Structure 1
Amino acid sequence: MNESAPLSQHTPLFQPRFDIGAQRIDCGREPDVATHAAADDFASWPLLDYSDCEPTEDQAAINRWLAEAALEGRDVLHVGTGNSSVARLLAGKARRIESVTVAHNEWRHGRELGLADYSVHLLNKHSLAFAERFEAGAFDCILDNNLASFACCQRHLERYFETLVRLLKPDGFVLTHWLGMQWTLDVGVDDVEPVWRLDAGKLRAIASVYGLSVQREDELFFLRRADRN
């Protein structure tokens, strides 16, 4: 490698795979669990830590669906641990439940429950660490009621969608909720761009780039591999 060559010759510029109007294409830093931590000081409601809260309206709707779903012996990933309601609901039903959170209290609370076949990971879902944590094709069901809400930039949101596709089993699905798609972080620190407030059209536009189709059931949205429909 030529040590004197310009950096641009060593590191290709990020080329977005879709365009829904984002201004922050590459934030220029690696996401971690502290990326949005400073925002807690500006919020008067639980922003990152829901360990001591009842499930939000969107999470409660997802939980009602899960309670009736045929997930016996399946592998489940829950992005956004909260009070571990998903793990408590699926304990003894799903084969394995993994969960990720950026909130230390959620991480501790989940670990202290002592549920069998349940693991909680302190990770930012947009990070390389998350992208590399689990084996490919590991999950039948991935739950995230805020698919784009905390995106720091398009580069790292694209990394997250790439990871979701890599983690899905051939017949697996991602489940999200309309209400969570509408919520963005806007408290004066590391604000999320309003463009990441998703609707059905934006979600389909993004999903199609990754070979995913979107099916809507009331306020729930299911993303599956398009070639499996």
Structure 2
Amino acid sequence: MEVAQKPKVPETAWLEAAYEILTENGVEAVKVMPLAKKLGVSRTGFYWYFKDRDALLEAMVHRWEEKNTGNLVARSAAYAEGIVESVFNLFDCWLDNALFDAPLELAIRNWARNDMALQERLNAADDERCRALRDMFLRHGFDARQSHVRAMTMIYTQIGYFSMHVKEDAQTRIGRMPDYVEVFTGLRPHDSDIQRFASRHLVT
């Protein structure tokens, strides 16, 4: 009996192709045949890794949950001497695509408008993010009401930033972040805080 050989195109290639189509054209465009054509292979290789299209879409959602929500929660919980450093730690997500994928975030939010089950997962993710940011403010001495409102303000601001497709070069965006920190915390960052943050992102 002949044993089916493993396809030459790996699972990661299918996932990356699906990611590109999802972020560029929306979930309706993520279909097996266009993916196979994009990769230059037959669609039979797809079923080596995924039971069906729904399994691939679930992998996309899982990627978003693990990367975007997971890293945001982790950065908000990272060690910091004060709230200013904590917020700068969180801001790493907005500048490093390895921590937070903005195109995927927007694609998931657009997709959820027509998918009730995904909308429920999105709502749960937003709640988890808001709790993480609220807890960050609580740890640094803000009262419960202020912590919750400041957390929501940060979340809503960033969602708006993605949704409006704001375009800024890295230097301009980093240059504005100390002012964002002051808006969100009520405290002006020290030069040492700003320099430490900028050194993580600006290439000299």
Same fold (TM over 0.5): no
TM-score scaled by structure 1? 0.24
Instruction: Identify, as 1 or 2, the structure richer in strand.
Output: 1
Structure number, greater radius of gyration: 2
The structure whose residues are more often helix, as a share, is 2
